[in-house]
Structure formats: structure tokens, C-alpha cells
Amino acid sequence: MPEYKGMNLIMPAGDRELRPYFEAAAAGRLVVRRCSACGMLRFPPGPACPWCSSLGSEWAEVSGRGTIYSFEIVAQAIQPGFAEWAPYPVVLVELDEQRGVPTADEALRLITNLVTPDFLPEAEEKVEIGWRVRVLFQPLDAELALPQFTLTDEPPDGNVWRLPS
Ligand code: ZN
């Protein structure tokens, strides 16, 4: 059973809803679900399309590039494995695919850790809305990996913002 920060990750071999996401990550691919009826991408996978309710969908590879749409700084970790990380950022990444679709308020977004290239939490003062990020794949075992995101050196998208300190 793969382990991450002292936690056992229960991922049965027969799980078809989430396991393929982590298997793709082990192969260096970020995937989300694409609705067979309307073509919209979504994450988390879920059984039905949130926009047209169709039950038909397939995995679709995306670029793994995006922009920090929002973030929070976790000051007190609930999971003991994250205690030594606190304070650490959790970011909402808007992927480049499907930006602003179907509305400016809804798009293809993933909640993720923001880490350095060696999978340590990014420094709090470096986290701002608007910065560009890309996916990294942290190996869990021979078959599964965990998608994480890291800052890029691309120029930010629009104005950067953080809560004034
Ligand atoms: Zn749909």
C-alpha cells in the first residue's frame, strides 16, 4: 500500500474513479474527465457531468500548466504528517484548458499543494494569486504518483495579489 507523509493511501486495484488519475501521474500525465456529451472537462472526476448531467465520460490528458486562482495558508495541520510543513500553502490552480468556461466564475480548477521541485512546501511569501504553475509528479510506489504543482518562471497572469500583511 502506498504511503504519503505517514498515511496509508487506500487505492484498490479495482477503483476506476480515482486510481487512473494516480496511475496516469506515475506515467507523467495529468488527466481529468471529459464529458462524452458536451465535451466539458471536469475535476474531481465524479460520476456525472456537473453542466449537462451526462453519465458518459473519458479520461483526457491536459497540459498541467495553469495559474494560481486562489490559495490559503494552513497554519495548523489537521493531518499529523503535515505538522512539520505548517505554515504551508494549498492552492487552487486554474488549468490553461477551459479557462473562463463555462463562466468566469467556473472553470477547470484543482486543489493542490504548492511545492518546490524537490516536493517541499513553497515558502508562504512566494504564494500569490496570478503566478504561473506547472504540475510535478511525486512518485508514491511503482504504479501510482501524486500530482503536485510548483511555481514557474513565466510572467504572472494579470495582477498578482495576496492579502496585505
Ligand atoms: Zn456534459
In a domain, residue 139? The reply is yes
Give me the mean pLDDT over the 101-125 stretch.
Answer: 94
In a domain, residue 162? The reply is no
Interval between CA 165 and ligand 1 midpoint (Å)? 42
Count how many domains the chain has.
1
Give me the mean pLDDT over the 122-142 stretch.
Answer: 96
Q: How confident is the model at residue 30 (pLDDT cuts 50, 70, 90)?
A: very high
Interval between CA 70 and ligand 1 midpoint (Å)? 25
In a domain, residue 114? The reply is yes
Instruction: Report pLDDT digits (tens) over 79-108.
Output: 899 999 999 999 999 999 999 899 988 899
In a domain, residue 45? The reply is yes
In a domain, residue 3? The reply is no
In a domain, residue 53? The reply is yes
Interval between CA 36 and ligand 1 midpoint (Å)? 7
Interval between CA 51 and ligand 1 midpoint (Å)? 5
Interval between CA 114 and ligand 1 midpoint (Å)? 30
Residue 141 domain boundaries: 14-151
Give me the mean pLDDT over the 50-76 stretch.
Answer: 97
Above 90 in pLDDT, residue 164? no
Amino acid identity at 28: G
Give me the mean pLDDT over the 76-81 stretch.
Answer: 92
Interval between CA 35 and ligand 1 midpoint (Å)? 5
Give me the mean pLDDT over the 114-120 stretch.
Answer: 97
In a domain, residue 134? The reply is yes
Interval between CA 59 and ligand 1 midpoint (Å)? 13
In a domain, residue 160? The reply is no
Interval between CA 21 and ligand 1 midpoint (Å)? 19
